[in-house]
Protein backbone atom coordinates (compact mmCIF):
# COMPACT_ATOMS: atom_id res chain seq x y z
CA UNK A 1 0.00 0.00 0.00
CA UNK A 2 1.30 3.46 -0.83
CA UNK A 3 -0.08 6.92 -0.48
CA UNK A 4 -1.00 9.06 -3.43
CA UNK A 5 1.31 12.03 -3.83
CA UNK A 6 -0.75 14.91 -2.54
CA UNK A 7 -0.08 18.58 -1.87
CA UNK A 8 0.31 19.31 1.83
CA UNK A 9 -0.43 23.04 1.74
CA UNK A 10 -4.09 24.01 1.71
CA UNK A 11 -5.35 27.31 3.10
CA UNK A 12 -7.91 26.86 5.84
CA UNK A 13 -6.77 23.28 6.49
CA UNK A 14 -3.01 22.82 6.92
CA UNK A 15 -2.18 26.52 6.94
CA UNK A 16 -3.71 29.93 7.41
CA UNK A 17 -2.12 31.56 4.38
CA UNK A 18 0.17 30.61 1.52
CA UNK A 19 2.44 33.53 0.75
CA UNK A 20 5.54 34.21 -1.34
CA UNK A 21 8.92 34.66 0.36
CA UNK A 22 11.49 36.26 -1.92
CA UNK A 23 14.20 35.08 0.51
CA UNK A 24 14.11 32.49 3.28
CA UNK A 25 16.83 31.01 5.45
CA UNK A 26 16.93 28.45 8.23
CA UNK A 27 18.91 29.57 11.28
CA UNK A 28 20.18 26.87 13.62
CA UNK A 29 21.01 27.65 17.25
CA UNK A 30 20.55 30.91 19.10
CA UNK A 31 24.06 32.32 18.76
CA UNK A 32 23.35 33.00 15.10
CA UNK A 33 19.72 33.99 15.67
CA UNK A 34 20.55 36.58 18.34
CA UNK A 35 23.37 38.03 16.24
CA UNK A 36 21.33 38.14 13.03
CA UNK A 37 18.22 39.50 14.74
CA UNK A 38 20.38 42.27 16.19
CA UNK A 39 21.68 43.10 12.71
CA UNK A 40 18.13 43.21 11.35
CA UNK A 41 16.80 45.39 14.17
CA UNK A 42 19.63 47.86 13.61
CA UNK A 43 18.09 48.46 10.16
CA UNK A 44 14.55 49.04 11.45
CA UNK A 45 13.03 52.37 10.41
CA UNK A 46 9.49 52.40 11.75
CA UNK A 47 8.49 49.22 13.58
CA UNK A 48 9.87 46.30 15.56
CA UNK A 49 7.23 43.86 16.79
CA UNK A 50 8.39 41.11 19.17
CA UNK A 51 5.92 38.42 20.25
CA UNK A 52 6.98 35.53 22.44
CA UNK A 53 6.60 33.15 25.31
CA UNK A 54 9.32 34.99 27.23
CA UNK A 55 11.92 37.75 26.97
CA UNK A 56 14.79 38.50 29.32
CA UNK A 57 16.22 42.01 29.05
CA UNK A 58 19.53 40.93 30.62
CA UNK A 59 20.70 38.49 27.95
CA UNK A 60 23.64 39.33 25.69
CA UNK A 61 22.60 39.11 22.07
CA UNK A 62 26.26 38.75 21.11
CA UNK A 63 28.40 37.77 24.12
CA UNK A 64 31.59 39.76 24.28
CA UNK A 65 32.62 43.34 23.58
CA UNK A 66 31.67 44.81 20.20
CA UNK A 67 33.04 47.78 18.36
CA UNK A 68 29.90 48.89 16.51
CA UNK A 69 28.56 51.02 19.37
CA UNK A 70 25.13 49.59 20.26
CA UNK A 71 24.77 47.73 23.57
CA UNK A 72 24.65 43.94 23.50
CA UNK A 73 22.15 43.36 26.30
CA UNK A 74 18.62 43.07 24.94
CA UNK A 75 16.97 45.68 27.16
CA UNK A 76 19.69 48.30 26.70
CA UNK A 77 19.83 47.56 22.97
CA UNK A 78 16.10 48.15 22.43
CA UNK A 79 16.22 51.40 24.41
CA UNK A 80 19.24 52.50 22.39
CA UNK A 81 17.40 51.82 19.13
CA UNK A 82 14.38 53.84 20.23
CA UNK A 83 16.55 56.74 21.40
CA UNK A 84 18.55 56.78 18.16
CA UNK A 85 15.51 56.87 15.84
CA UNK A 86 12.51 58.94 16.89
CA UNK A 87 10.46 57.38 14.03
CA UNK A 88 10.85 53.89 15.46
CA UNK A 89 8.28 52.20 17.68
CA UNK A 90 9.14 48.94 19.43
CA UNK A 91 6.34 46.70 20.69
CA UNK A 92 6.87 43.61 22.86
CA UNK A 93 4.07 41.16 23.63
CA UNK A 94 4.88 38.66 26.34
CA UNK A 95 2.81 35.82 27.80
CA UNK A 96 1.41 37.13 31.07
CA UNK A 97 2.45 34.06 33.08
CA UNK A 98 6.01 34.72 31.92
CA UNK A 99 6.07 37.78 34.18
CA UNK A 100 6.15 35.47 37.20
CA UNK A 101 9.26 33.71 35.92
CA UNK A 102 10.88 37.09 35.24
CA UNK A 103 10.39 38.09 38.87
CA UNK A 104 11.57 34.74 40.24
CA UNK A 105 14.82 34.75 38.28
CA UNK A 106 15.72 38.26 39.43
CA UNK A 107 15.18 40.14 36.19
CA UNK A 108 15.37 43.87 36.85
CA UNK A 109 11.94 45.53 36.91
CA UNK A 110 13.44 48.70 35.42
CA UNK A 111 12.71 47.66 31.85
CA UNK A 112 9.54 45.69 32.54
CA UNK A 113 7.67 48.48 34.28
CA UNK A 114 9.37 51.28 32.37
CA UNK A 115 8.25 49.83 29.06
CA UNK A 116 4.68 49.43 30.28
CA UNK A 117 4.46 53.24 30.40
CA UNK A 118 6.90 54.16 27.67
CA UNK A 119 5.89 56.05 24.53
CA UNK A 120 8.57 54.43 22.37
CA UNK A 121 9.12 50.90 23.69
CA UNK A 122 5.80 49.30 24.58
CA UNK A 123 5.57 46.12 26.65
CA UNK A 124 2.20 44.40 26.97
CA UNK A 125 1.34 41.21 28.81
CA UNK A 126 -0.88 38.82 26.89
CA UNK A 127 -3.62 37.29 29.07
CA UNK A 128 -6.08 36.54 26.25
CA UNK A 129 -5.97 32.77 26.60
CA UNK A 130 -7.78 29.89 28.33
CA UNK A 131 -6.81 29.01 31.88
CA UNK A 132 -3.24 27.58 31.98
CA UNK A 133 -2.80 28.02 28.22
CA UNK A 134 0.48 29.52 27.00
CA UNK A 135 1.22 31.99 24.23
CA UNK A 136 4.03 30.06 22.63
CA UNK A 137 4.61 31.75 19.24
CA UNK A 138 8.07 33.26 18.77
CA UNK A 139 7.82 36.06 16.19
CA UNK A 140 9.96 39.07 15.28
CA UNK A 141 8.77 41.36 12.49
CA UNK A 142 10.68 44.43 11.29
CA UNK A 143 8.91 47.10 9.21
CA UNK A 144 6.56 44.39 7.88
CA UNK A 145 9.41 43.54 5.48
CA UNK A 146 11.56 40.96 7.29
CA UNK A 147 10.28 38.36 9.74
CA UNK A 148 11.68 35.67 12.01
CA UNK A 149 9.51 32.69 13.01
CA UNK A 150 10.67 29.60 14.86
CA UNK A 151 11.32 28.05 18.22
CA UNK A 152 13.89 30.35 19.85
CA UNK A 153 12.91 32.63 22.72
CA UNK A 154 14.98 35.74 23.46
CA UNK A 155 15.53 34.66 27.02
CA UNK A 156 18.02 33.12 29.38
CA UNK A 157 19.49 29.71 28.65
CA UNK A 158 19.03 29.72 24.87
CA UNK A 159 22.35 31.05 23.58
CA UNK A 160 24.63 28.40 22.12
CA UNK A 161 26.65 27.66 18.99
CA UNK A 162 26.38 24.58 16.77
CA UNK A 163 29.57 23.30 18.43
CA UNK A 164 27.77 22.97 21.81
CA UNK A 165 31.11 23.18 23.58
CA UNK A 166 31.52 21.80 27.06
CA UNK A 167 31.56 24.53 29.74
CA UNK A 168 31.53 27.34 27.17
CA UNK A 169 32.11 30.50 29.21
CA UNK A 170 29.89 32.47 26.84
CA UNK A 171 27.00 30.18 27.75
CA UNK A 172 26.29 31.61 31.17
CA UNK A 173 23.20 33.09 32.75
CA UNK A 174 23.07 36.83 33.56
CA UNK A 175 23.81 35.80 37.16
CA UNK A 176 26.97 34.01 36.02
CA UNK A 177 25.76 30.42 36.35
CA UNK A 178 26.94 27.80 33.84
CA UNK A 179 24.30 26.57 31.43
CA UNK A 180 24.07 23.31 29.53
CA UNK A 181 24.25 22.97 25.72
CA UNK A 182 21.05 23.97 23.90
CA UNK A 183 19.94 23.18 20.33
CA UNK A 184 17.29 25.32 18.65
CA UNK A 185 16.17 26.68 15.28
CA UNK A 186 14.21 29.47 13.60
CA UNK A 187 13.68 30.98 10.15
CA UNK A 188 14.11 34.41 8.58
CA UNK A 189 12.21 35.49 5.47
CA UNK A 190 11.24 38.58 3.51
CA UNK A 191 8.68 39.65 0.93
CA UNK A 192 4.92 39.08 1.00
CA UNK A 193 5.33 36.25 3.52
CA UNK A 194 6.88 38.67 6.02
CA UNK A 195 3.94 41.06 5.53
CA UNK A 196 1.57 38.14 6.13
CA UNK A 197 3.34 37.21 9.36
CA UNK A 198 3.14 40.89 10.36
CA UNK A 199 -0.63 40.64 9.93
CA UNK A 200 -0.70 37.69 12.32
CA UNK A 201 1.48 39.57 14.80
CA UNK A 202 -0.80 42.62 14.66
CA UNK A 203 -3.80 40.35 15.22
CA UNK A 204 -2.16 38.89 18.31
CA UNK A 205 -1.42 42.41 19.57
CA UNK A 206 -5.02 43.50 19.03
CA UNK A 207 -6.46 40.44 20.77
CA UNK A 208 -4.25 41.06 23.79
CA UNK A 209 -4.49 44.85 24.02
CA UNK A 210 -7.61 45.96 22.06
CA UNK A 211 -5.25 48.25 20.15
CA UNK A 212 -5.34 48.16 16.34
CA UNK A 213 -1.98 48.58 14.64
CA UNK A 214 -1.74 49.93 11.12
CA UNK A 215 0.37 48.32 8.43
CA UNK A 216 3.86 49.73 8.09
CA UNK A 217 4.22 51.78 4.91
CA UNK A 218 7.93 52.50 5.15
CA UNK A 219 10.03 50.71 2.52
CA UNK A 220 13.11 49.14 4.06
CA UNK A 221 15.26 46.04 3.79
CA UNK A 222 16.26 44.73 7.20
CA UNK A 223 17.72 41.47 5.91
CA UNK A 224 20.73 40.64 8.14
CA UNK A 225 24.07 41.36 6.49
CA UNK A 226 25.63 38.01 7.41
CA UNK A 227 22.69 35.76 6.52
CA UNK A 228 23.05 33.68 3.36
CA UNK A 229 19.81 32.95 1.52
CA UNK A 230 18.74 29.29 1.44
CA UNK A 231 15.56 29.59 -0.64
CA UNK A 232 14.49 32.24 -3.14
CA UNK A 233 11.02 33.07 -4.47
CA UNK A 234 9.11 30.23 -2.84
CA UNK A 235 5.57 29.96 -1.52
CA UNK A 236 5.38 29.06 2.16
CA UNK A 237 2.47 28.12 4.35
CA UNK A 238 1.97 29.89 7.67
CA UNK A 239 0.20 27.51 10.07
CA UNK A 240 -1.27 28.24 13.49
CA UNK A 241 -2.64 26.70 16.63
CA UNK A 242 -5.21 28.92 18.37
CA UNK A 243 -7.33 27.55 21.21
CA UNK A 244 -11.04 28.34 21.32
CA UNK A 245 -11.41 31.45 23.47
CA UNK A 246 -14.16 34.04 23.95
CA UNK A 247 -15.79 33.61 20.56
CA UNK A 248 -12.62 32.73 18.66
CA UNK A 249 -12.92 29.37 16.94
CA UNK A 250 -10.50 26.53 17.54
CA UNK A 251 -7.70 26.56 14.95
CA UNK A 252 -5.64 23.39 14.46
CA UNK A 253 -3.77 24.02 11.21
CA UNK A 254 -0.48 22.79 12.70
CA UNK A 255 -2.00 19.53 13.91
CA UNK A 256 -3.64 18.95 10.52
CA UNK A 257 -0.36 19.72 8.73
CA UNK A 258 1.61 17.46 11.07
CA UNK A 259 -0.70 14.50 10.49
CA UNK A 260 -0.80 15.18 6.74
CA UNK A 261 3.00 15.19 6.56
CA UNK A 262 3.17 11.90 8.45
CA UNK A 263 0.56 10.35 6.15
CA UNK A 264 2.33 11.56 3.02
CA UNK A 265 5.98 10.73 3.86
CA UNK A 266 7.33 8.07 1.53
CA UNK A 267 10.91 7.23 2.56
CA UNK A 268 12.09 9.31 5.52
CA UNK A 269 10.48 11.38 8.25
CA UNK A 270 13.01 13.36 10.31
CA UNK A 271 11.75 15.15 13.41
CA UNK A 272 13.28 17.35 16.09
CA UNK A 273 11.05 18.21 19.04
CA UNK A 274 11.29 19.10 22.71
CA UNK A 275 8.69 16.43 23.47
CA UNK A 276 7.22 13.23 22.07
CA UNK A 277 3.92 13.29 23.91
CA UNK A 278 1.04 13.60 21.43
CA UNK A 279 -0.84 10.30 21.31
CA UNK A 280 -2.55 11.27 18.07
CA UNK A 281 0.80 11.94 16.40
CA UNK A 282 2.32 8.74 17.82
CA UNK A 283 -0.62 6.69 16.53
CA UNK A 284 -0.24 8.22 13.06
CA UNK A 285 3.45 7.31 13.06
CA UNK A 286 2.64 3.80 14.29
CA UNK A 287 0.22 3.27 11.40
CA UNK A 288 2.93 4.15 8.87
CA UNK A 289 5.45 1.86 10.57
CA UNK A 290 3.11 -1.10 10.12
CA UNK A 291 3.36 -0.73 6.34
CA UNK A 292 5.92 -2.93 4.62
CA UNK A 293 7.01 -0.03 2.41
CA UNK A 294 6.36 2.80 4.83
CA UNK A 295 8.90 5.49 5.81
CA UNK A 296 11.62 5.29 8.39
CA UNK A 297 11.04 7.71 11.26
CA UNK A 298 13.87 9.44 13.16
CA UNK A 299 12.86 11.54 16.19
CA UNK A 300 15.49 13.64 18.00
CA UNK A 301 14.48 14.67 21.54
CA UNK A 302 16.30 15.89 24.64
CA UNK A 303 17.50 13.15 26.94
CA UNK A 304 14.82 14.28 29.39
CA UNK A 305 12.49 17.17 30.13
CA UNK A 306 13.51 20.15 32.26
CA UNK A 307 12.15 20.29 35.80
CA UNK A 308 10.57 17.72 38.10
CA UNK A 309 6.95 18.12 36.96
CA UNK A 310 7.83 18.07 33.26
CA UNK A 311 10.00 15.01 33.77
CA UNK A 312 7.18 13.24 35.57
CA UNK A 313 4.52 14.12 32.99
CA UNK A 314 6.20 14.59 29.61
CA UNK A 315 8.87 11.90 30.00
CA UNK A 316 6.27 9.45 31.31
CA UNK A 317 4.04 10.17 28.32
CA UNK A 318 7.05 9.67 26.05
CA UNK A 319 7.75 6.23 27.52
CA UNK A 320 4.12 5.20 26.97
CA UNK A 321 4.16 6.38 23.36
CA UNK A 322 7.57 4.82 22.68
CA UNK A 323 6.05 1.49 23.70
CA UNK A 324 3.08 2.06 21.42
CA UNK A 325 5.24 2.96 18.43
CA UNK A 326 7.80 0.21 18.97
CA UNK A 327 5.06 -2.40 19.11
CA UNK A 328 3.93 -1.21 15.66
CA UNK A 329 7.51 -1.03 14.30
CA UNK A 330 7.55 -4.50 12.75
CA UNK A 331 10.24 -3.54 10.20
CA UNK A 332 12.64 -1.79 12.62
CA UNK A 333 12.35 1.67 11.06
CA UNK A 334 11.79 3.85 14.15
CA UNK A 335 14.48 5.57 16.20
CA UNK A 336 14.06 7.97 19.15
CA UNK A 337 17.44 9.58 19.85
CA UNK A 338 19.08 12.33 21.88
CA UNK A 339 22.35 14.19 21.12
CA UNK A 340 25.45 14.54 23.29
CA UNK A 341 28.43 16.83 22.77
CA UNK A 342 32.08 15.81 22.51
CA UNK A 343 32.34 15.48 26.30
CA UNK A 344 29.27 13.26 26.47
CA UNK A 345 27.00 15.94 27.98
CA UNK A 346 23.41 15.74 26.76
CA UNK A 347 22.35 18.65 24.52
CA UNK A 348 18.87 19.96 25.25
CA UNK A 349 16.78 19.85 22.07
CA UNK A 350 14.32 22.74 21.86
CA UNK A 351 14.01 22.88 18.05
CA UNK A 352 10.65 22.04 16.46
CA UNK A 353 11.30 20.69 12.96
CA UNK A 354 9.70 18.10 10.69
CA UNK A 355 11.22 17.14 7.33
CA UNK A 356 9.55 14.57 5.07
CA UNK A 357 11.72 13.13 2.31
CA UNK A 358 12.99 15.94 0.09
CA UNK A 359 9.53 17.47 -0.21
CA UNK A 360 8.40 19.16 3.01
CA UNK A 361 10.08 21.21 5.74
CA UNK A 362 8.02 22.45 8.70
CA UNK A 363 9.68 24.61 11.37
CA UNK A 364 8.23 26.78 14.11
CA UNK A 365 7.17 26.84 17.74
CA UNK A 366 4.97 23.71 17.92
CA UNK A 367 6.20 20.58 19.69
CA UNK A 368 4.90 17.04 19.35
CA UNK A 369 2.76 17.35 22.44
CA UNK A 370 -0.95 17.87 23.05
CA UNK A 371 -0.68 21.53 24.04
CA UNK A 372 0.95 22.51 20.76
CA UNK A 373 -1.79 20.75 18.80
CA UNK A 374 -4.73 22.54 20.37
CA UNK A 375 -4.24 24.33 23.69
CA UNK A 376 -1.43 26.89 23.27
CA UNK A 377 -0.91 29.48 20.54
CA UNK A 378 1.69 28.37 18.00
CA UNK A 379 3.05 29.38 14.59
CA UNK A 380 4.96 27.22 12.10
CA UNK A 381 6.08 27.84 8.55
CA UNK A 382 5.91 25.09 5.93
CA UNK A 383 7.98 24.77 2.76
CA UNK A 384 6.79 22.29 0.16
CA UNK A 385 8.72 21.41 -2.99
CA UNK A 386 6.59 21.06 -6.08
CA UNK A 387 7.19 18.36 -8.74
CA UNK A 388 9.34 20.71 -10.84
CA UNK A 389 11.27 22.32 -7.99
CA UNK A 390 14.39 20.18 -7.82
CA UNK A 391 16.35 23.09 -6.36
CA UNK A 392 13.92 23.38 -3.44
CA UNK A 393 14.03 19.60 -2.92
CA UNK A 394 17.81 19.69 -2.86
CA UNK A 395 17.81 22.49 -0.28
CA UNK A 396 15.36 20.62 1.98
CA UNK A 397 17.61 17.56 1.89
CA UNK A 398 20.62 19.78 2.55
CA UNK A 399 18.93 21.25 5.63
CA UNK A 400 18.10 17.80 7.00
CA UNK A 401 21.63 16.50 6.44
CA UNK A 402 23.13 19.59 8.08
CA UNK A 403 20.93 19.10 11.17
CA UNK A 404 21.90 15.45 11.47
CA UNK A 405 25.53 16.36 10.81
CA UNK A 406 25.52 18.86 13.67
CA UNK A 407 24.43 16.12 16.08
CA UNK A 408 27.12 13.75 14.82
CA UNK A 409 29.96 16.26 14.52
CA UNK A 410 29.99 15.71 10.76
CA UNK A 411 29.33 17.84 7.72
CA UNK A 412 26.04 17.70 5.89
CA UNK A 413 27.84 16.30 2.87
CA UNK A 414 29.22 13.46 5.05
CA UNK A 415 25.65 12.61 6.05
CA UNK A 416 24.43 12.79 2.46
CA UNK A 417 27.21 10.47 1.30
CA UNK A 418 26.42 8.01 4.10
CA UNK A 419 22.71 8.03 3.16
CA UNK A 420 23.64 7.26 -0.44
CA UNK A 421 26.01 4.49 0.63
CA UNK A 422 23.76 2.79 3.19
CA UNK A 423 20.41 3.44 1.56
CA UNK A 424 18.64 5.17 4.45
CA UNK A 425 19.07 7.96 6.99
CA UNK A 426 18.66 5.51 9.86
CA UNK A 427 21.53 3.33 8.69
CA UNK A 428 23.63 6.40 7.88
CA UNK A 429 23.24 7.68 11.45
CA UNK A 430 24.21 4.30 12.84
CA UNK A 431 27.26 4.15 10.58
CA UNK A 432 28.41 7.66 11.50
CA UNK A 433 27.75 7.44 15.24
CA UNK A 434 31.06 6.87 16.99
CA UNK A 435 31.64 5.34 20.40
CA UNK A 436 32.78 8.70 21.76
CA UNK A 437 32.55 12.36 20.81
CA UNK A 438 29.43 13.94 19.35
CA UNK A 439 26.77 11.37 18.68
CA UNK A 440 23.11 10.43 18.82
CA UNK A 441 22.11 7.94 21.51
CA UNK A 442 18.93 5.93 21.91
CA UNK A 443 16.42 7.16 24.48
CA UNK A 444 16.19 4.14 26.80
CA UNK A 445 12.96 2.38 27.64
CA UNK A 446 12.13 1.79 31.28
CA UNK A 447 9.23 0.68 33.43
CA UNK A 448 7.01 3.46 34.74
CA UNK A 449 6.15 3.76 38.41
CA UNK A 450 2.51 3.81 39.49
CA UNK A 451 2.43 7.61 39.83
CA UNK A 452 4.15 8.02 36.47
CA UNK A 453 1.54 5.76 34.85
CA UNK A 454 -1.16 7.98 36.28
CA UNK A 455 0.51 11.19 35.12
CA UNK A 456 1.19 9.75 31.66
CA UNK A 457 -2.56 9.43 31.11
CA UNK A 458 -3.44 12.76 32.74
CA UNK A 459 -4.02 15.98 30.83
CA UNK A 460 -3.06 18.10 33.82
CA UNK A 461 0.20 19.37 32.31
CA UNK A 462 -0.45 18.58 28.65
CA UNK A 463 -4.13 19.13 27.78
CA UNK A 464 -5.22 18.65 24.18
CA UNK A 465 -8.08 21.17 24.02
CA UNK A 466 -9.62 23.80 26.31
CA UNK A 467 -12.30 22.50 28.65
CA UNK A 468 -15.50 21.68 26.79
CA UNK A 469 -13.91 21.70 23.32
CA UNK A 470 -14.17 18.32 21.62
CA UNK A 471 -11.68 16.89 19.15
CA UNK A 472 -12.98 16.87 15.59
CA UNK A 473 -11.28 14.76 12.95
CA UNK A 474 -10.20 16.77 9.92
CA UNK A 475 -12.24 16.17 6.76
CA UNK A 476 -9.12 17.26 4.86
CA UNK A 477 -7.18 14.32 6.25
CA UNK A 478 -10.02 11.87 5.66
CA UNK A 479 -10.71 12.86 2.06
CA UNK A 480 -7.52 14.45 0.72
CA UNK A 481 -5.09 11.70 1.71
CA UNK A 482 -6.11 8.27 0.50
CA UNK A 483 -4.57 4.87 0.10
CA UNK A 484 -4.40 3.04 -3.18
CA UNK A 485 -3.09 -0.35 -4.12
CA UNK A 486 0.53 -0.53 -5.31
Q: Which of 233, 267, 297 is at the close of a domain? A: 233
The predicted pLDDT at position 174 comes to 84
Tell me, yes or no, whether 452 lies in a domain: yes
What is the band of 151 on the pLDDT scale with cuts at 50, 70, 90?
A: very high
Q: Is the pLDDT of residue 41 over 70?
A: yes
Mean pLDDT of the region 360-374 = 96
**Rounded-to-integer distance, Cα 475 and Cα 180, Å:** 43
Mean pLDDT of the region 383-406 = 96
What is the band of 336 on the pLDDT scale with cuts at 50, 70, 90?
A: very high
The predicted pLDDT at position 461 comes to 67
Check: CB of residue 335 under 8 Å from CB of residue 290.
no
Q: Is the pLDDT of residue 468 over 80?
A: no
What is the band of 5 on the pLDDT scale with cuts at 50, 70, 90?
A: low
- Identify whether residues 366 and 329 lie together within a single domain: yes
**Rounded-to-integer distance, Cα 408 and Cα 415, Å:** 9
What is the band of 185 on the pLDDT scale with cuts at 50, 70, 90?
A: very high
Tell me, yes or no, whether 267 lies in a domain: yes
Tell me, yes or no, whether 16 lies in a domain: no
Q: Is the pLDDT of residue 113 over 70?
A: no
Report the helix count and the strand count for the chain, using DSSP H and E: 15, 20
Tell me, yes or no, whether 240 lies in a domain: no
The sign of the torsion formed by the CA atoms of 368, 373, 379, 383 equals: positive
What is the band of 484 on the pLDDT scale with cuts at 50, 70, 90?
A: very low
- Identify whether residues 201 and 59 lie together within a single domain: yes
Q: Is the pLDDT of residue 144 over 80?
A: yes
Q: Is 293 helix (H, G, I), strand (E, B) or coil?
A: coil
Q: What is the total count of domains within the chain?
A: 2
Range of the domain at 366: 2-11+246-484
Q: Is the pLDDT of residue 363 over 90?
A: yes
Check: CB of residue 239 under 8 Å from CB of residue 364.
yes
Tell me, yes or no, whether 330 lies in a domain: yes
Tell me, yes or no, whether 238 lies in a domain: no
Q: Is the pLDDT of residue 128 over 70?
A: yes
Least confident piece of the model among 83-87, 127-131, 167-171, 476-480: 476-480
Mean pLDDT of the region 388-415 = 97
Alpha helices in 379-449 (DSSP H): 390-408, 412-422, 425-432
Q: Is the pLDDT of residue 473 over 90?
A: no
**Rounded-to-integer distance, Cα 221 and Cα 207, Å:** 28
- Identify whether residues 132 and 250 lie together within a single domain: no
- Identify whether residues 304 and 427 lie together within a single domain: yes
- Identify whether residues 272 and 332 lie together within a single domain: yes
Tell me, yes or no, whether 95 lies in a domain: yes
Tell me, yes or no, whether 189 lies in a domain: yes
Q: Which residue has the higher pLDDT, 242 or 450?
A: 242
Q: Is the pLDDT of residue 1 over 60?
A: no
The predicted pLDDT at position 469 comes to 81
The predicted pLDDT at position 483 comes to 45
Check: CB of residue 382 under 8 Å from CB of residue 362.
yes
The predicted pLDDT at position 474 comes to 80
- Identify whether residues 6 and 115 lie together within a single domain: no
- Identify whether residues 153 and 256 lie together within a single domain: no
- Identify whether residues 288 and 370 lie together within a single domain: yes
The predicted pLDDT at position 116 comes to 64
What is the band of 477 on the pLDDT scale with cuts at 50, 70, 90?
A: confident
- Identify whether residues 268 and 187 lie together within a single domain: no
Mean pLDDT of the region 315-327 = 92
Least confident piece of the model among 79-88, 250-259, 475-484: 475-484
Determine how many CB atoms are found less than 10 A away from the CB of residue 388: 8
- Identify whether residues 198 and 273 lie together within a single domain: no
pLDDT in tens, 90-105: 999 999 875 555 555 5
Mean pLDDT of the region 426-443 = 92
Mean pLDDT of the region 112-126 = 79
Q: Which of 174, 204, 233 is at the close of a domain? A: 233
- Identify whether residues 7 and 37 lie together within a single domain: no
The predicted pLDDT at position 96 comes to 84
End-to-end CA distance of the chain: 5
Check: CB of residue 426 under 8 Å from CB of residue 300.
no
CATH code for position 153: 3.30.870.10
Q: Is the pLDDT of residue 258 over 60?
A: yes
Q: Which of 204, 233, 262 is at the close of a domain? A: 233
What is the band of 39 on the pLDDT scale with cuts at 50, 70, 90?
A: very high
Mean pLDDT of the region 117-128 = 85
pLDDT in tens, 198-222: 999 999 999 999 999 999 988 889 9
- Identify whether residues 184 and 268 lie together within a single domain: no
Say what percent of the chain tops pLDDT 70: 90
Amino acid sequence: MVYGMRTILAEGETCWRISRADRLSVIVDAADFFRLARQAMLKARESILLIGWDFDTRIDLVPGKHEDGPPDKLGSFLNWLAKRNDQLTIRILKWDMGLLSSAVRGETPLYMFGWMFSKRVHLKLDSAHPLASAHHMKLLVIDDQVAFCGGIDMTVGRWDTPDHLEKDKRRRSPMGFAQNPWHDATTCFSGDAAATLAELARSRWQTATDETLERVKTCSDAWPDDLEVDFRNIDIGIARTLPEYEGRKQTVEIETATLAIIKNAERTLYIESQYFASRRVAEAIAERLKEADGPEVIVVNPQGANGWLEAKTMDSARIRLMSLVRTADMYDRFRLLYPVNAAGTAIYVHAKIMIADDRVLKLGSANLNNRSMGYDTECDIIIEAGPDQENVSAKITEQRNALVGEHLGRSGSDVGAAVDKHGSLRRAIEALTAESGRRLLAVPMRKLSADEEMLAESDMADPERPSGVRYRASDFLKHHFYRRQS
